[in-house]
Amino acid sequence: MLAIDHIVIVAKDPAQAAADFEQKYGVMTLEGGRHTKWGTYNYLAYFSNDCYIEWLGIFDRSLAVQSDNPLVQQTVRALEADFEGTIQFALRTENMDQYLHHFATADVAYTGPIQGSRQKPDGATLEWRMLFPNLNATIGPFMIEWGKVRNSPPSEHFLNKKQVKSVTCGLAADIIAQVYQLHIADHAVQLDNAMLILEDGEHIRFELE
């Protein structure tokens, strides 16, 4: 079963955007780190149902523009269009190879797996793989598989008691079923740690509880 891993909010100033969110919702945020080969960096908020929010920004536009990572490309396009807000979310899998096999046999186009890494402020290195189903004009969630170390808060102090209750997006039910192999009931999918709600519209939104 898949789980919500994280929600991506693009921001011109991730530190300020995270601080504003912290004040509005009463949660704790912290600096994440830099993705040196992509020219991006982030701030984070961790939640008790094993997921987090990422405020993603660009510190080196020349690197970001040249990146072949679809999420980085999406971030560049959003900021160039003067958009700040939720642009994407990731579904966590423990077996990305299974989805690679499924995509190959079901003739689903995809980009990846793309290797990712960043150094945390404490010096530890996180590593992961990202897999992006190509859904034509529709932007669907990407899949992520963590390496030996999961992205987790440096201490319990930074783990918010609140949870991400649901994520709502405009994906069609047949895409959810065919591409992500998820069962839909009443326009929703029960993931491991939250609900995925399908609703007409281009924007992604989420609800905390």
- Say if strands 188-190 and 125-133 run parallel, antiparallel, or are unpaired: unpaired
For 35, what's the count of Cα atoms within 13 Å in the CB-facing half-sphere? Answer: 23
Domain boundaries, the chain: 3-150
Average pLDDT over the chain, rounded to whole?
Answer: 93
Q: What are phi and psi of 97, to 5 degrees?
A: -60, -30
Q: Judging by beta carbons within 10 Å of its beta carbon (0-12, 13-18, 19+), is residue 58 exposed, middle or buried? A: buried
pLDDT, position 1: 82
The secondary element (H helix, E strand) that includes residue 91 is strand 85-92
Burial 62-77 (b: 16+ CB within 10 A, else e): ebbeebebbbbbbbbe
Greatest mean pLDDT among 17-26, 148-157, 174-183 lies in 17-26
Say whether pLDDT at 201 is over 80: no
pLDDT, position 187: 92
Long-range contact set of residues 148-153: C-beta below 8 Å, sequence gap at least 24: 149/124, 149/125, 151/6, 151/44, 151/52, 151/126, 152/46, 153/30, 153/44, 153/46
Alpha carbon distances (Å) from 171 to 19, 51, 144, 175: 30, 21, 18, 7
Q: Which residue has the tokens 């919702």?
A: 25
Say whether pLDDT at 125 is over 90: no
149 pLDDT band, cuts 50/70/90, is confident
- Here the tokens at position 137 are 């004009």
* Model confidence, pTM: 0.95
pLDDT in tens, 2-51: 999 999 999 999 999 999 999 999 999 999 999 999 999 999 999 999 99
> Over pLDDT 90: what percentage of the chain?
81
Bridge partners of 168, per DSSP, are: 197, 205
pLDDT, position 137: 59
Say whether pLDDT at 123 is over 80: no
Tell me how many degrees the CA angle 42-45-47 measures, rounded to the nearest 5: 145
For domain 3-150, which architecture applies? Roll (3.10)
Alpha carbon distances (Å) from 90 to 62, 142, 163, 189: 25, 5, 16, 15
Say whether pLDDT at 109 is over 80: yes
134/193: higher pLDDT:
193
Say whether pLDDT at 138 is over 70: no
pLDDT in tens, 52-82: 999 999 999 999 999 999 999 999 999 999 9
Cβ neighbours for 180, distance < 8 A, ≥ 6 positions apart: 2, 91, 133, 140, 141
140 pLDDT band, cuts 50/70/90, is confident
Say whether pLDDT at 118 is over 90: no
